[in-house]
Structure 1
Amino acid sequence: MKFLQAIPLISTILILVEQSHAEKCDRIKIGKEYYKRTLIATIDGYPTGMVIDPRTDHIFFLLNKRNYTKGLHLLKHGSLGIKQLAVPDDMIGQCVGIDTANNIIYIGTNQGLIVYDYAKTEISGERPLGDDDIRSIFIDKSDNQMYIITGSSREVFRFMNGTTAIKRFEKIPRAYSFIIDSKSNAFYEYVDGKIYFYSADLYEPIQYKGFTRELKYVLQLNNNDEAILGVKGSLFKLHVNNILPEKIAQFGFKITGIAFDTKNNIVIGTKGKIYRFKPINSNDPCPPDDYFMSNI
């Protein structure tokens, strides 16, 4: 009789253990896969312009707080802290671009491009490339072509054949951000606050429907050469054969930065936090963490 009375208690314990296990995993569906969410950094502000160095998994980002920026920061993989990149006093670091083919990390400043070296404590600004006010950098992995967005007018230029000479990018004369896939399809946020794509098979840009004028889009290419857009708390996949974006995830926070590493993890920034979303293996539903949580 006492054994029968204990059965409900055992069942309750099992349910609580299962619930605790599920909460620990903190699963979310992105596209057709489930991901585990891990908090890897807490920050005083919110990150934008996130870039991951594929050689080291280090994360670069611009830290913003209210209506001003607190400079470019670096979160090293497995590190216990985040450090600010020390650009020269007369320059303002505004973005990062990583040329993996040539093993170069570029920093865009208000006075041109400078190069960052992990081994040095400070960044040399003695020989900047050009004197443009560089707001964004995109490096096309298919041909290693580098593009920049300059000034308050957000004009788009590309570097010519590995030289320091630049030429206006005729397809996208002005933009807040843009990406180009391996098929030469361009996706961008124009200065009118709308999202467009310029297909390699078409002669004019096409506007995506279903978005309001936000001016707070986050646009990135994932490891499958797909255009991923973050707006408010949602992720969308953009296609060139459909003007309607495909919603692939909904989060409980506003997205301010997105980056993809070589392990198919997705790093997402929001106010006060940076999360890593790791694909869940069916054989390992709760994979162990390999990051220390960092604070700033």
Structure 2
Amino acid sequence: MLPLILLLVTATYANNCSYIYDGFRYTRTSILTIKGLPSNLAYNPKTKDLFFTLIDLDTLLNDNVQTRMDQYVLRNGEPRKIDNVNGQAAAYDVKNDRVYIASDTGLNVLDGSDEASFFSLKDEDIVQLYKPAHNDNLYAVFYPDNEVYVIDVNKNEKKKLEYVPCAFVLAVDAEENVYYECDSKYVKMMLKDFQEPIEFVGIAKNAARAMTVDENNRVILAANDGLYWLRPDSLIPKKLMSLDFVPSGIVLNGDDLFLSTRGIIYQFNGAQCE
């Protein structure tokens, strides 16, 4: 019976490791099922908390009402709503060990009791955040024009990001090159100290869904058909993974890749397949 048992174990192992990311095998686990569209993923590696914005699909598809969004933290497998703020996005500040929560009334920070307190940008309607790990800048997207501002979180100063007209998805690498998708519906990058954006080729119009930067300073785009590596020295993205669902959020932490879609958050893990 021993050979048969080994065969079954090997088959099960291979099936679990059937997802390919950047040439390596990964497992996939559904870590949360929830009604709505989880988006704007952010991760705190110290606490292993996963933050996400839950979008109500009924209001999203109704042009006559304001889209309802709630901010959640997934901790130990349990989602917890952050009740005292109308959260629209979150970002983790590695340098200052701080979680920012964007709302329709300004920028907040989260305390140890999962309570949000006002931090800056009073009465600004902030719909997206991106916090690079290498400096004190926080990138915020303001509604209704989706303009991008750079906030120095220590000096509490803001300035509009030049030459980036707007952003619906956004990421910034360690060299301060800005990657974004705007009204053109094509993914572009604005290289630092340049004035004209560069458009990536091969990505379908209106296909970008989310972006993040991994620990190797690679900008990863989640698009309708999969994940792409966007490089500052090439206009042709490298496809890292094909997906059988349309993603709505992405964040990475070491061997863990988190992707959200309608009603689900997945965790892909590569360590178990080594």
Q: Which residue of 1 aligns with 2:63?
A: none
Deviation at 1:16, TM superposition (A): 4.5
Is there any run of 5+ residues in structure 1 with no aligned partner, and where? Answer: 1-8, 286-296
**Against the structure 1 CA distance between its residues 130 and 20, is the aligned structure 2 distance closer, same or farther, given a 3 Å change threshold?**
same
Q: Which residue of 2 aligns with 1:29?
A: 20
Q: Which residue of 1 aligns with 2:224?
A: 232
Q: Which residue of 1 aligns with 2:64?
A: none
Distance 1:13 1:245 in 2: 43
Partner amino acid for 2:265?
I
The one-character-per-residue Cα deviations of 1:146-186 (angstroms, maximum 9, x if unpaired) are 12110120111112472223111113232112221112222
Q: Which residue of 2 aligns with 1:186?
A: 178
The normalised TM-score by structure 2 is 0.87
Is the contact between residue 131 and residue 139 of structure 2 (CA under 8 Å) also seen in structure 1? yes
Distance 1:46 1:161 in 2: 29
Distance 1:53 1:12 in 2: 43
**Against the structure 1 CA distance between its residues 215 and 110, is the aligned structure 2 distance closer, same or farther, given a 3 Å change threshold?**
farther
Partner amino acid for 2:158?
I
Q: Which has the higher contact order (CA 8 A, sep 6+)?
A: 1
- The structure number with the bigger radius of gyration is 1
- How many residues are aligned here? 266
The yes-or-no answer on 1:205 pairing with 2:197 is: yes
Is the contact between residue 226 and residue 237 of structure 1 (CA under 8 Å) also seen in structure 2? yes
Is there any run of 5+ residues in structure 2 with no aligned partner, and where? Answer: 61-66
The yes-or-no answer on 1:97 pairing with 2:88 is: no
Name the SS of the counterpart of 1:254 in structure 2: coil
Distance 1:169 1:200 in 2: 11
Q: Which residue of 2 aligns with 1:108?
A: 102
Q: Which residue of 2 aligns with 1:72?
A: 71
Deviation at 1:243, TM superposition (A): 1.3
Distance 1:241 1:182 in 2: 14
Distance 2:23 2:193 in 1: 29
Partner amino acid for 2:116?
I
Q: Which residue of 2 aligns with 1:266?
A: 257
| Aligned-residue RMSD, C-alpha | 2.4
Deviation at 1:38, TM superposition (A): 1.8
Is the contact between residue 27 and residue 272 of structure 2 (CA under 8 Å) also seen in structure 1? no
Any residues of structure 2 matched to 1:147-166 within 5 Å, and which? Answer: 147-160=139-152, 162-166=154-158
Q: Which residue of 2 aligns with 1:196?
A: 188
Deviation at 1:266, TM superposition (A): 0.6
Name the SS of the counterpart of 1:196 in structure 2: strand
Partner amino acid for 2:141?
I
